[in-house]
Structure 1
Amino acid sequence: MWARVTSIGLKGMEGYRVNVEVATYVGNDSFKIVGLPDAAVKESKERIIAALSSLGYVLSGNKIIINLSPADQKKIGPMFDFPMAIGLLLSLHELEEMIPKDTGFLGALSLDGSVQPVEGLLPAVLAAKRLGIQRLYIPLDDHLPVLDIEGLEIIYVSSLKDVIGHLAGQWVPPFFKKVEEESDCENNRYLDFQQIIGHAGEKHALEVAAAGEHHVLMTGPPGCGKSLLAESFPSILPPLSKEAQLEVLSLYQLSRNSYTQSQLPPYRSPHHSASGVAIIGGGQYPKPGEISLAHRGVLFLDEIGEFSRKTLDMLRQPLENGLITISRTHATIAYPASFLLIAVMNPCPCGYAGSNAHYCTCSPKQILTYQNRLSGPLRDRFDINLALRPVDFNAASMTQAGEQSSFVRERVKEARERQYDRYGEEICNNRVPYEVLLRDRPLTDSQQSTLQQLAFKKNWSNRTQIKIIRLARTISDLQASPAITDQSISEAIKLNTV
C-alpha cells in the first residue's frame, strides 16, 4: 500500500535527492501528485495511467497519492514519470522485488510504456554520483556519450517492461557501443595559425593566453586582423578532459542546445545586440546563458564597445569567480562560467585613431566617450592587452611561413599539464588562488623589489601586480622553467601594459 523510490531533482547544475513516495488505498478513483509539482509534473498522471494500462495494469478502484519529497522544492519537468510509475507498481504489489535506497530512476514516459530521454538527464546523472546513488536506471540518449562513471552502475532501458524484467532478474540490458569522434579532425574546422600572415607577437601572446587561461583585449583599426586572430584561437586549445566534456554537455542540455564538438572546448561569439539575459542567463525558469555555454572554453565578444554597458558590467563577477548566480522569486541558481574572454574593439568610433593610412574624424571627447564604454573595473580584468597594426604585406618577413596550430597546441597542452601537476587539480594560473600560485616557487627578493618599484612608479593597483605575476608564471611554464624567471616578468609587463 506504500512504497518509496529514489530519483534526482535539479536546481541549475546542482542536484538533490527526491524521494518519490506512493500510497494507494481502496476507494474512489483519484490520482493526486503533491510536493510543489509544475504543470509538466502534474501531467505525469495521464502519462503514467496510459503507460501502465498499455502493459495490462489496472488502476481503477484505487485512490493514489504521490508525494515528491522534499515538499518545499519546486519539481520541474517530466523526469519523475519513470520513478513514479515504478513506485506505483511497488505500492500495488505488482512488483515484489525490494529496491534499495541507493537505486535511482530518471526518465519520462510515453503512452505506450517506453522510457524517453529528458532535458537535464546528464547533469542529473552526475548529481546522482555525488549523492551516493550506486545504481541508476535511465533511458538511452543518442545525443550523449556512453557514460562510464566509477562507482555508479548505469542501466540503459527502453521501456517499463525492460525495467520490470531486470528487477526480477529475467532481463539483461544490452551493451551499447558508440564511435568516439577524432579530436585531431575536430581541430581542423578552425583556421590554422599558419594561414594568418604576420602578427608573430600577437600569436605568441595568444599562446600565453591559452596556456594560462588569461583574458585578452585587442584594439586596432578595422581590417588589421583582430577578429581573424580571435576566430583562429580555438585551434591552439587542447582537447577537453572527460570530466570537462560532461560538464559542457550538461550545460548545453540544460539550455536545450546541441553540442557535437564533444572533445573541443566550446567557442561562443554572441552578437552585440544580445540581451543581458542571453549573455548572463536567466529567464522565468533560469537557463544557462552564453557565458555558461562558453564554460571550459572561449567567449569572443567582437566589437565589445557596442555591447550595452550594463551587460558588460555583469561579466565582472563570473570573470572573477568562474560562477554566475541567478536569483529569482522561487529559486537561486548557480551555473559554472569559467571561460576565457577574448574581446576586440576599435580605438575610436570611426576606428582610425592612431592610424597612418586613414584620417581619424573623431574628436578627443568622442574617443574618450567610446573608450569609456568599458568600465575601469572590467578593463582591469583583462590580463593581456594587444594594440594591433595593419600587416605590411611587402615586408620580407611575410615570405616566412608561420607555425602550425598543432605545434602551438602541443606546447599549450604541456604547459597546462605542468600547472595541473603543480596545483593537484585541473586549474590554470589565471584561476588558482594567489597564495597557491606562489606557494612552491615564490618570487625572489630581487624580483619582488623590482616589481614594487615599478608599481609605485607607474601607480599600478594590487590586481595589476598579481596579473603580471600570473602571466609570468604562465610564460615560465611554456619555457618549462620550474621558477618564475626575470625574462618572463619583463615579458608579462609588456603584455599587460601595451
Structure 2
Amino acid sequence: MENEGAISENRYLDFQQIFGHGDAKHALEIAAAGEHHVLMTGPPGCGKSLLAESFPSILPSLSKEAWLEVLSLYQLSRSTYSQSHLPPYRSPHHSASGVAIIGGGQYPKPGEISLAHRGVLFLDEIGEFPRKTLDMLRQPLENGLITISRTHASISYPASFLLIAAMNPCPCGYSGSNAHYCTCSTKQILTYQNRLSGPLRDRFDINLTLRPVNLNAAKGGIHEQEEPSKIVQERVGLARERQYDRYGGEICNGRVPYDILLRASPLTVTQQSNLQKQAIKKNWSNRTQIKIIRLARTISDLQGTPAITDRSINEAIKLNTV
C-alpha cells in the first residue's frame, strides 16, 4: 500500500491548470532550476497548495543513479514507489509524528524527509508542525543527511530534498487581506509567525507572499492562456545542465559549496560594492547575502548568461527579502 505522504505520478498538476500567479510560478521555476527552498505565505484558498502540488511537474527526470538511490530508500522503508524516473514528492500532514517525518523508531527506517530525497518535501501549514520536529530539519537542509542516534549505533540516511513550505500570515489567516477582516491581535500574529524559528526561516532562499486570484476577471479558456509545465521543465533542464557542466557533477547553485560558486562565478567589483552597501543598510546577515548570490546565479543560468548579471542580483534581492 502506498504511503499516504506520497502523490502518484498521475496526480501531479500541470502549471497550465493553475490560473494566474505568474510571479509565483516564475519564482518556483527559479527554485526548481537551482534547488532553492521556498516559503509561501498567504490566506487560505489563495493557491499555495495547488502551486506546491504542481511543482514536481517542472522538475527534470531523475538520472539512473539518483533513481536507484530513491528506490533503495523506499525499499528500506517498505513503501512502494512508482516505476518512473520522476522526482519523489512527499506531503506529510502536520499531525504526523516526528519519527514519521525525520525517521527512526524502534527498528530505524527512513522518514518522510528521506523519502523526499532527490525530490520535494511539501509542508503545508508549517507553523502547525511541532517546533522540535521543524528544528530537526536544519541538519538535512544543511548537509543532505539525517543521522539517527541509538544506544549502540548511529544510522545516517540521505535526505537531500527541496523544501516547499506554506503558512498563513496569522492564526485566522486573513492578515493583510482586502476581502476578509482579520480578527487577530498584533501579539497573536507575532506569536504565530514565531512558530517558525529564525534559524529554520533563514534556510529559505525564496519568500513568496501570495494573494487570491480573481477568476471572474478571466474571459474563457483560462488554462489555454497559461504556460504548460513541459515548456517550463525544458528551461529548468537547460539551466541545470549549465550548472552540472560548471561544477562537474549533479549539483545545483542552491547546494554547491560557496567558495566553489564564487570561484566559478565571481562578482564584479561594482557588484560586490553595491551588495555590501545594501547589506549594511538593511542589516543583512552573511547567510542572506550568500542566498542572494546563489539565487542570482540561478536566474542568470535561466537567462543563459555566463556571468551573474546586475538584473539577476536585483531580482534575487526581491525574491529573498519579500
Cα distance in 2 for residues equivalent to 1:320 and 1:189:
30
Cα distance in 2 for residues equivalent to 1:242 and 1:236:
18
Query: Which residue in 1 is equivalent to 2:5?
Result: none
Query: Which residue in 1 is equivalent to 2:50?
Result: 228
Does structure 1 residue 285 correspond to structure 2 residue 107?
yes
Once the 2 structures are TM-superposed, how far is the Cα of residue 485 of structure 1 from its aligned partner?
Answer: 0.4
Query: Which residue in 2 is equivalent to 1:421?
Result: 245
> Higher relative contact order at CA 8 Å, sep ≥6: structure 1 or structure 2?
2
Letter in 1 for 2:270: S
Cα distance in 2 for residues equivalent to 1:250 and 1:482:
37
Does structure 1 residue 241 correspond to structure 2 residue 41?
no
Q: Is the 8 A contact 1:192 1:404 kept in 2?
A: yes
Does structure 1 residue 441 correspond to structure 2 residue 265?
yes
SS of residue paired to 1:439: helix
Once the 2 structures are TM-superposed, how far is the Cα of residue 332 of structure 1 from its aligned partner?
Answer: 0.7
Q: Is the 8 A contact 1:216 1:384 kept in 2?
A: yes
> What per-residue deviation string (whole Å, max 9, x for no partner) do you get for residues 49-96 of structure 1?
xxxxxxxxxxxxxxxxxxxxxxxxxxxxxxxxxxxxxxxxxxxxxxxx
Cα distance in 1 for residues equivalent to 2:9 and 2:24:
20
Which structure has more helix as a fraction of its residues?
Answer: 2
SS of residue paired to 2:225: coil
> What per-residue deviation string (whole Å, max 9, x for no partner) do you get for residues 408-460 of structure 1?
00000111111111000111111100011111220000100010000000000
SS of residue paired to 1:360: coil
SS of residue paired to 1:438: helix
Once the 2 structures are TM-superposed, how far is the Cα of residue 356 of structure 1 from its aligned partner?
Answer: 0.5
Does structure 1 residue 264 correspond to structure 2 residue 86?
yes
Once the 2 structures are TM-superposed, how far is the Cα of residue 323 of structure 1 from its aligned partner?
Answer: 0.7
Does structure 1 residue 346 correspond to structure 2 residue 168?
yes
Query: Which residue in 2 is equivalent to 1:462?
Result: 286
SS of residue paired to 1:324: strand
Does structure 1 residue 402 correspond to structure 2 residue 220?
no
Query: Which residue in 1 is equivalent to 2:188?
Result: 366
1:79-90 map, 5 Å: none
Letter in 1 for 2:142: E
SS of residue paired to 1:270: coil
Match of 2:159 among 333, 337, 341: 337
Cα distance in 1 for residues equivalent to 2:276 and 2:252:
25
Give the root-mean-square deviation of aligned CA atoms: 1.3
SS of residue paired to 2:250: coil
Q: Is the 8 A contact 2:47 2:212 kept in 1?
A: yes
Match of 1:308 among 118, 130, 143: 130
Which residues of structure 1 form unaligned runs of 5+? 1-185
Cα distance in 2 for residues equivalent to 1:397 and 1:437:
45
Match of 1:322 among 118, 136, 144: 144
Number of aligned residue pairs = 313
Query: Which residue in 2 is equivalent to 1:299?
Result: 121
SS of residue paired to 1:416: helix
Cα distance in 2 for residues equivalent to 1:396 and 1:189:
25
Q: Is the 8 A contact 2:9 2:82 kept in 1?
A: no
Letter in 1 for 2:113: I
Does structure 1 residue 452 correspond to structure 2 residue 243?
no
1:22-421 map, 5 Å: 189-395=11-217, 401-421=225-245
Relative distance call for 1:231 and 1:332 in structure 2 (3 A) is: same
Q: Is the 8 A contact 1:187 1:235 kept in 2?
A: no
Structure with larger Rg: 1
Q: Is the 8 A contact 2:42 2:173 kept in 1?
A: yes
Q: Would you identify which runs of 4 or more consecutive aligned residues in structure 1 move more than 6 Å? A: none
Cα distance in 2 for residues equivalent to 1:420 and 1:385:
26
Letter in 2 for 1:444: T
Once the 2 structures are TM-superposed, how far is the Cα of residue 275 of structure 1 from its aligned partner?
Answer: 1.0
Match of 1:482 among 297, 306, 309: 306
Once the 2 structures are TM-superposed, how far is the Cα of residue 188 of structure 1 from its aligned partner?
Answer: 5.4
Letter in 1 for 2:238: E
Scaled by the length of structure 2, the TM-score of the pair is 0.95
Letter in 1 for 2:321: T
Once the 2 structures are TM-superposed, how far is the Cα of residue 261 of structure 1 from its aligned partner?
Answer: 4.1
Letter in 1 for 2:185: S
Scaled by the length of structure 1, the TM-score of the pair is 0.62
Letter in 2 for 1:422: R
